[in-house]
Each structure stands twice: as structure tokens, then as C-alpha cells.
Chain A
Amino acid sequence: MDRRLALLLAETFGERLLTPVRQRYDETEIRIALADATDVLRVVHDDPALRFSMLIDLCGVDTGEEMHVVYHLSSSLSGDWLRIIVAGLDRTAPRIASATFLWPGAEWMERETYDMFGIIFEGNRDLRRIYMPDDYRSFPLRKDFYLADDASRSPAAGVRNMERVGTPADATAATLLRKSPGA
């Protein structure tokens, strides 16, 4: 973790950082707006003082209100790791520019992100489903996609792995007394 990197990033991007540069353990994190994504990635990749030339990971995040795309980069200059959070993708129609012009290897990771979140990466040559079948319609990692586990939990909050069977309390007396000769 390098304090100078934080200063350098703050100096380079200035206004474009949505939040101050954060550093925790060996990770440095910046948060930028959707409109700046391509520029920031290019600067970070090409700037001779930064040289974040390795894309370690690319993933999407659904916060429930908006979508993020998160890039984890590693610098070939200093070995620092940088996390770039591109915030503010519209949940109904998330779109962002592809990073394949810098890292062709991002192609499949973008496909995966598209498959799981429905984020459309403009400029990716092969943006189609990768895990799910082609005719699948939902995006499983979105927060409004409930697992069966969630679903069984949601109507009665507090139910967790415990299910009750037993006497149905709402059954009427008449249904139970059907065989009684006296009734």
C-alpha cells in the first residue's frame, strides 16, 4: 500500500473521482462516474507513472438501486493493485463501454457480467450468454432474482431452515368431523 499512489491518483483524476481515494490493506480504490469510465481506464493503463497494465478481474455489482462495474488492476510498474468502481449504471438498461480495446482478455469476463447482470458492454464483439442457455431470459445475479431459499424465507421473515408442519389451524371443525355419526 502506497500513500503516493493515492496522491498520484487524486492528482491525475481530480474532479472525476466521486469519492476520495480509499486505501485499505494493499488495495487502493477509486470510484468514478459512468461517463468517465473509458477515459480513466485508458489513462490508468497508459500513464507512464501508473501503468496498470494487468486486468486481474472485471465484475458487476447490483446494489439494488444501481449497477456498478468493478475493475481490479495490477500495475506492472510498482505491483500496486487498484480497484476502479464505475458507479451509476441504470438498473433498467445498464450500458457501459467495453474494456476489450485495452484488454482483449476482458471479453469473456464481460460476457459473464452480461450473462449475470444484463450489463451491456458496448464494443464487445461477442456479447452473448456464456453460462446460461441462449434462450434464458433473466439475469441471475441481480438482487431481484430470488433463490428458492429467499423465496421460502421472504413471506414470513424469520423463517430460516425451519419449517413447520402439523395441524392445520385453519381447517374447519366440519371437515374434521365429517366421519362423526353424531354431527
Chain B
Amino acid sequence: MPRIPGAGLLSGMRLTLTRFFQPKRTVMYPEAKPDIAPRNRGRLELVTDEHGTLKCETCFQCAQACPIECIDMGGTDTKGRFAVHWGPAEQYAERREESAMRRSGRTVPDAAAATGARVNTAKVDEILEAHDYDPHHMLAILEAIQATYGHLPVDALKRVSRATGAWYAMVYGTATFYKHLAFEPGVTRSIAVCRCANCLVAGAGSVMGTLSYEFGTEFGRAIPWSNLRLESLPSHLPDAPSPLVVIDGEPQRDLNAKNAASWAAALAGRYAA
């Protein structure tokens, strides 16, 4: 501090006056873009291609690679059955709701526990023990589970994920990749409709519509309340009538466009009972 009173103030005034004439540091933002380093993480965004389609193919690899799970991915599988959700959940409505419940002192319902079919996972543990909890043997484990339970229950998959340390998305990916692994319990029977030109002319379309209305589901899906599945036939069977409906490999003979509605209703009634 200088001895003359006020000299410090004056030197400060001189400094501000020199700064008054110096070049300014403001970035004129909308016109001039700030200088952002190439490594800047910024915000995560999904990239689209030139047609405007998302490039992401939901392989979950980015989410798996993220060490702190800040990448969140969610989606429904192609058959519309499972919402697969990866990442911290707190940004999402379901979690907010839970926190709100927690704060207000109510018990928090567990969505996973409430909706999935509860199975006893004791046998899963035996299977896992037999395979030494090794995630590399995932296919063998899943096959063994399918052999035990008849299908792959979600609880079992989660147990596998927890015990082996494999990410759930990985387990789920393996399970969906192999055609012989099934998620629905006991889908052993199917109602298949042929969609060849001949059959469509003969009224296969209205048969399909009626069937999906009566069973309350869509083609390519399991009927929720039974072990049946609506499918379309890949090709017309030799010397079969049109329209062709096959139940468990058995072509139905006495069927035409006119009686299709009552036939389907009767069928639905039979299976419902």
C-alpha cells in the first residue's frame, strides 16, 4: 500500500481506464460460436443419418461401456413384449414417483416384482452352480433354464445377471438372439393363417382380422391368456384348401370367408374355456 493517501485508488482508476481501451473478451454468441475443444463431452445425443432415421440400433454397448452409468437406454423389443431399460432410473417418471412415495412415507411398489410371474429361482442357482457362475457359458445356462422351466422367466434372467455379474442387457440379448429360447411360458401351439395370393382372394384377410379381434391380440404374438400363438404361414401347404388355417399343423377344412366369424368365435370360446 502506498504512503500517499488515495494513490492506490488512483492507480486502480488508471488500470480500469487502460482496460477501457483494451480489446474485449465477449464472445458474440449467436454470431460467433465459442471455441469448443474437440474432446468436449457436452450433452449426449442420438445421431441421425441423412434420411433423418436414428442411427442407434440399440446394441446397449455404449450403456455398458459407460463406467458410471450415465448413459440411459430404454426400448421395447421387436415383439413389443419387454421394455428394456438400462441406466440410472432417477430421471424417469417411474422413479420420481417412487421418490415421492418414499418422501411421503408410503411403501414403494416394485414394478418388477408386481407384474412378472414369480418363479422359484432355487433351480437357477443349481444350474449356475453347475456352470460355475461363468457368464461365458451363457447359452448353456439359458438352455438349461429353458429345459427346467419350459421357458425363460424374467426372474430367472435377473438372477443370472445378478449372480454372474453379466449385464442384464447381455443376458437378454443372448436370450433373444437364439430362436429356440422362448420367453412365453409354454407356447407350444399355434394358429397359423396362410397369406398366399390364393388364400387372400378366398378371404384369408377377413379370417385374420376376425381371429385377432376374437383373441384380442395381433399376428406374430402370443395370445396372452393361453398357450396359443397367432402366426402367419410361410407358404401354402400342398393340396390344402383356401383360405387355409392351420392349428398345430392340422389344416382346417370346413372353413370359408362366410363362416369365418362364427368359427373364430367358437374357437375363442373353446380355448377360453
- Which A residues have a C-beta under 8 Å from some C-beta of B? 146-149, 151-152, 154-174, 176-177, 179-183
Contacts and interface: CB of A to CB of B under 8 A. Distances in A.
B86 interface: yes
A173 to B, nearest CB: 4
A158 B158 contact: yes
A111 B211 CA distance: 69
Interface in B153-180: 154-155, 158-159, 161-163, 168-169
B223 to A, nearest CB: 9
B224 interface: yes
B88 A177 contact: no
Most buried by B among A154, A155, A165: A165
Q: Which of A154, A157, A160, A161 has the most CB of B within 10 A?
A: A161
B196 interface: no
A152 to B, nearest CB: 5
Interface of B: 69, 81-90, 94-95, 98-99, 101-102, 107-108, 110-113, 115-117, 121, 154-155, 158-159, 161-163, 168-169, 185, 214, 216, 224-226, 265-266, 268-269, 272
A161 B69 contact: yes
A173 B223 CA distance: 10
B112 A173 contact: no
Nearest to B116: A164
Given A148-B98, A164-B112, A179-B216, 5 more contacts: A151-B110, A161-B88, A173-B272, A176-B225, A181-B265
A141 B161 CA distance: 28
Question: What DSSP secondary structure best describes chain A's contact surface?
Answer: loop
14 contacts: A146-B102, A152-B95, A152-B98, A155-B113, A156-B110, A158-B121, A162-B158, A164-B116, A165-B111, A169-B115, A169-B116, A173-B226, A180-B214, A180-B268
A149 B98 CA distance: 9
Contacts of B163: 158
A152 B155 CA distance: 14
B152 to A, nearest CB: 12
A177 B85 contact: no
Contacts of A165: 82-83, 111, 115
Contacts of A154: 110
